[in-house]
Each structure stands twice: as structure tokens, then as C-alpha cells.
Structure 1
């Protein structure tokens, strides 16, 4: 557990350094084509932009995925599930570090007075999570309930059940919760791919869509191996 924790910490540190370099390079390239400080300033996302909203919300979304993955690693000895949990924790801690690094570079707060998902307004997207959490049609407003602030997020009750489960029961619950979590994350990432203006962040969002779709397929296979379906 200690080794995994420090691996995740190192991933976040490296991600912050990568984010700094990526945004600096992006700004430099932009200056070559558009010239002047005013052009660079115009490309810095505003506090209420899709870029800032996605970075804030997905950072919170990712943090829960990391938390769930650490929990299940302590609740099972199955190598396939433990390997998946490690990969998800490492990847999403890394990506979270990148997004928080961008917010620092843009000199924007990491929290917003707006409701979560406000940057998705007008999307009318789904991506409901475990237990029926989802969005409300037009406007893309998400009903936050029992700690589930965004589409796909587990509730506090869900997390408590995961902490109490053991062995195959923990594996199945984790796979169900993480499948819903990934589906919500894919919805958000597609929203950024459509709305975000910073090229590096759009690329990151597209990568999230592809990677999480692949992991959703893997988790469906792991559930099937355990004689379980996506729903209880």
C-alpha cells in the first residue's frame, strides 16, 4: 500500500511538471503565430470557461476513482482486479495533477462558486451513475446526491459498502461502481473535446474517452467471469 501511495504521489509530481511544460510550449507556439502579449492573454481560459470547468470537475471526479481503486486493492487478492485498480489509480492521479497544474498556470481557482457541471450547460447529456444519478435533460445540470457531485460518481453509501466488502463481493461492487464512474467520465471528456479551447486539454480529454471506453469493456469481461451483471 505504501509503495502504491508513493507511486501515485510521484505520478502527480511528474504530471505537474509535464503540465507546466505543455502549457508553456503551447503559449510559445501561439505567440509565434499570433504575436504579442495580448494574443497570449486572449488564449488563457477564463474562470467560467469550459477549460477551467472541466479541469476542476474532472479533478474531483478522478480523485474518487483513485480513492475507490485504493480501497479495492486492500479488499481483494485477485491479481486482475488489483492490476486494473493500480492502473486506474496511477493514470487518474497523473491526469489530475496535469489539470490542477494547468489551473495554477492559468492563475485560476481550483474551486468554483458555480454548481458542478455548469460548463456543460446546454449539453443535455446523460451518463448517469450507479443508483440512477444522472443529468437533467436540457442544460446538463446534475443532481448531486449523497456525495455524488457529478455523473457516474459513487455516493457515500456506495463507498461505505465497498469498504465493508471482501473478496469477490468487493471485486464485483468495484467493477460496477467504476464502470458507472467511467461512463460519467466519458460524458464529461466528450464535453471538453467539443467545448474546450486549449489544444492540450482537448487532446487529454480525447485520450480519456478512448482509455476509459477500453477499461469499460475490460470491466464488463471481468464481471462476466464472476457471473455478475452490471446491475445487481
Structure 2
């Protein structure tokens, strides 16, 4: 492939190093917010004194009770691992949370970025596997984003790593490789398959009542969600169709 063709492909499929830096900062903040949210229930959800002690995690009774893996003898897949399972004490879980938060700070400022994102990815998996009953679709997306981030040059801009880079060779404005392509395909798949699945439900199409009903889930609805419920039904239907259209065309 000649230089001209590669340059055109980079302009189309490449990722700007500054955009990747903004993504790195946002990713670190999301993981930190997730840690804060989970730490509020650290004793109840991640210790042996909580609702899911380590012994119960491998119990067929508990697995059957929540109907996640009724055919298995364990709620946790045999190939899944978790550092959080090494000790069920509150002090140990708190220690892992602190380590994860420090690593998120390193990712946020771009210090030893590659090692930081690998460690954050590993600890994120460890935390999710400690209590699989708490996982939802957003955790799967976060895990996927952290995985592909290990192969992206997240520390090449707006970072401590870039500030102390002694290489005289200037960095390109955009980068394109297998990792950037895989990252973009992953994003497209997340939104396009989500939209395709939603179109199978009449609540999304053609009725357009999905937003109306979802805002009635008090477990997830925020104050802003309750505020939206005060709007007329046609407005909420427009929001439903708007969300569906965005998921179809947004990634492109």
C-alpha cells in the first residue's frame, strides 16, 4: 500500500491522538465513578459478611435461586477469576478499591498509561467477577472499552507520558492500526445491535412508548427522569424515536 492510499485511509478510519486523550480522561472518570458507586456497598456486596460470601458464590443453591446459571454448580464461571476472592475481609476489599482508584488517577493524568489501563482492566474484571449478580449491560461495555484501550496510544497527548517523551520524532496527528479499527467496530456493534434488538419490540417501534415505561422504573429513574414524566406522551415518543435513530446512525 503506497503512502497516499494509507494517508487517505488514516483520514477516514484513523483516530486523532487528542481525541484518544479525551477518551482516556473520560474513561478514567467513568471507572472512578463506578468505584465510588460500588464502594458504598462494599461490605454488603463484596465481603464474606455480606449477601454473597465467597462460599455462596460457588454454591449451587445460590445459583439456582437467582436463576443465572441453574445448570451449573457455581454462579461464577470456572474460567473466571477474581483477586477479590482471595480474602473476604472488609480491609482487603477496601485495599483493592484504593489500588484501583490510584491506578485510575494514573490513567486520568496519563502516567505509565499502558500499564495503568491494563491494571485497571484487570481490577475491573476482578471486581465484576466477585459479585456477578450486580453486573448489567453497562459493565460489559466498560469492560470492552478497557480491553481495546490497552492497544490504543492513549498516552500520546495531554498526558504526563507525552510531557516527558524524549523522542525527537514528532507524533502523527492521527493513528490507524488494527486496534483503532477494532475499537470503532466495537462501538458500531454496540449501538447498531442494540438498535436492531429494540426494533423487535413494539414499545420502541412503532408505538414509541419505551421512554415512558423506562422512566417508571424507580430503581433507575433519576430526578431528571421524574421531571421528564411530566411532559406529554407525544414528547416522550419523540425522545424514544430520537434515541432509536441515534443508535442507528450515531456511530457512523
More helix by share: 1
* Structure 1 length-normalised TM: 0.31
* Structure 2 length-normalised TM: 0.29
